[in-house]
A = this chain, B = another copy of it.
Amino acid sequence: MSADRRTLAPFGRRRVPIVDRCEYGSYVVLRCLDEAGPAPRPGQFYMLAAAEAWGGGEGERPFLPRAFSVLRATPESELHFLLEAVGPGTKRLGALAEGEELWLAGPFGVGFAPPAEQRRPLLVGGGVGIAPLAIWQDELGLDATVLLGFRDAAHAEGAAVLAEARLATDDGSVGHRGLVTDLLIQELDHTDDARAAVYACGPPPMLEAVRALCAERGVPAQLALESGMACGYGACFGCVVPTRAGYVRLCLEGPVLDAELLETALIPGTGHG
């Protein structure tokens, strides 16, 4: 397992074909062929835009590319992304068909750090935030426990992109009725805190609950955060999140941050729309 958390990106963006598109309930998985790009590290992300007709949607947007965690990277240079249509950018990307093309730049940011020896990885995901956990599970293997939370059954279909996950849904339609953090508490209650390492990605309130929980128990946690991004490579200073060390550019120092660095995972301007 490589300990390096950042794969450098080729300079510029590249035009890549969509080789497959499929739906998992409320989500779309796009697969594209990135032959000119390197293998990303789990937790890294790419900036994506449709090569044609990017714009002219709701309010004449999108204009900027959109950030997406890599869901999975194959040895055949395929990159997979998991999308949920929440606005003009994700709507356009989700409508792309096989054979259409993407502008893609990346991989950007730093990914997950491997757990310290003796620590068992617990992967906690919510909603579309499960994406980076899939590639991380690919690397960690099946020792990693996976806990996923979704709004309802249509969203819970997304769980199919990971293996052997325990599920929670808000409406109880699949798995545990309640929050994925309920499952995390159960897991932690059955594990020696000194032997756990948490990796989480999901909506800000979930991440904040995970952060608080792990802080209380002294369990190390890494959180893959989101924030509004214009560039993805440190150019715009737009994606800062407040940390104990001041504002940091999430695209450069994250998107995976040690939970300890944060006073809160509730980042202004994200997930509150």
Contact = CB atoms under 8 A, between A and B. Distances in A.
A84 to B, nearest CB: 19
A55 B92 CA distance: 12
Interface stretch (A56-64, A109-117, A233-241, A265-273): A56-64
A36 interface: no
A5 to B, nearest CB: 35
A57 B63 contact: no
A54 interface: yes
Number of copies of this protein chain within its complex = 2
A3 interface: no
B57 A53 contact: yes
Contacts of A57: 52-53, 55-56
Interface in A60-83: 60, 62-63
A52 B54 CA distance: 11
A164 to B, nearest CB: 40
A63 to B, nearest CB: 7
Interface centre among A56, A62, A63, A92 (most CB of B within 10 A): A56
A54 B55 CA distance: 8
Interface in A78-112: 92
Interface of A: 52-57, 60, 62-63, 92
5 contacts: A53-B55, A53-B56, A54-B56, A55-B56, A55-B60
- Listed from nearest, the 9 A-B pairs whose CB atoms lie closest are A55-B56, A53-B53, A56-B56, A54-B56, A55-B55, A53-B56, A55-B60, A53-B57, A53-B92
Given A53-B53, A55-B55, A55-B57, 11 more contacts: A52-B57, A53-B55, A53-B56, A53-B57, A53-B92, A54-B56, A56-B56, A56-B57, A56-B62, A60-B60, A60-B63
